[in-house]
């Protein structure tokens, strides 16, 4: 069984909005087909047939049809670019909100750790535990961890 891809909540929401709008759904389908090799092969076949069978003069009708098609296809490309731009903005907004939540959580955790550290410090002082710092440990050569020899 193939794993189901996990999408961002932004992607899921935008896909649902586009699927609910008939015009956007149709524009997506047309853009998807126009950007495929099937589209290229179909046009090569249709243009060749048109030039051989239907046009007698230097193809004025074909030129008109191709120009109109280019106008419509460029419109669909712009619709796709607008869609991508809207997606990027929605994703950036979503990422910003998530980062703000993480920053807030990290700030709360840092404050909690600081409060616990202060409480631990106070308890150690109240219990008489010395917390002056680490005690130097002597190594086999008779010097402390700092590298200076201990007084004799």
Nearest to 133 by CA among 149, 115, 145, 148: 145
Q: Does 134 or 7 have the greater pLDDT score?
A: 7
- β-bridge partners, 149: 143
Token digits of residue 16: 């649902």
Confidence label for 110 from pLDDT (cuts 50, 70 and 90): very high
Average pLDDT, the chain: 79
User: Mean per-residue pLDDT for 126-145?
Assistant: 60
| Angle of the 22-34 helix axis to the 60-126 helix axis, nearest 10 | 110
Predicted local distance difference test score (pLDDT) of residue 143: 52
On the question of pLDDT at 76 being above 60, the answer is yes
Q: How far apart are CA 102 and CA 79, in angstroms?
A: 35
- φ, ψ of residue 53 to 5 degrees: the values are -95, -45
On the question of pLDDT at 147 being above 60, the answer is no
Please report the DSSP string for 109-133 in residue order.
HHHHHHHHHHHHHHHHHHTT---SS
Predicted local distance difference test score (pLDDT) of residue 141: 55
On the question of pLDDT at 138 being above 70, the answer is no
User: Mean per-residue pLDDT for 120-131?
Assistant: 80
For 40-62, how does the pLDDT look when each residue is reduced to its tens digit (9 = 90+)? 888 888 888 887 887 777 678 78
Predicted local distance difference test score (pLDDT) of residue 58: 67
Our CA angle for 72, 75, 78, nearest 5°, is 155
Predicted local distance difference test score (pLDDT) of residue 7: 72
Q: Mark 56-66 as b/e (b = at least 16 C-beta within 10 Å).
A: eeeeeeeeeee
Q: How far apart are CA 1 and CA 14, in angstroms?
A: 27
For 92-104, how does the pLDDT look when each residue is reduced to its tens digit (9 = 90+)? 888 888 999 999 9
On the question of pLDDT at 152 being above 50, the answer is no
Residue ranges covered by each domain of the chain: 9-126
Calculate the CA 144 to chain-centre distance: 53
Q: How far apart are CA 18 and CA 22, in angstroms?
A: 8
């Amino acid at each position: 069984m193939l794993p189901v891809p996990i999408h961002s909540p932004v992607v899921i929401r935008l896909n649902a909005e586009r699927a609910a709008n008939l015009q956007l759904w149709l524009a997506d389908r047309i853009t998807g087909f126009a950007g495929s090799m099937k589209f290229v092969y179909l046009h090569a076949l249709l243009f060749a047939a048109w030039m051989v069978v239907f046009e007698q003069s230097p193809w004025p009708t074909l030129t008109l049809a191709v120009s109109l098609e280019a106008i419509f296809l460029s419109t669909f490309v712009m619709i796709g670019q607008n869609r991508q731009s809207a997606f990027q903005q929605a994703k950036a907004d979503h990422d910003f909100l998530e980062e703000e939540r993480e920053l807030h959580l990290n700030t709360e955790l840092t404050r909690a750790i600081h409060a616990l550290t202060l409480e631990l410090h106070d308890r150690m002082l109240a219990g008489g535990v010395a917390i002056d710092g680490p005690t130097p440990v002597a190594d086999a050569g008779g010097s402390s961890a700092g590298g200076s020899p201990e007084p004799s």
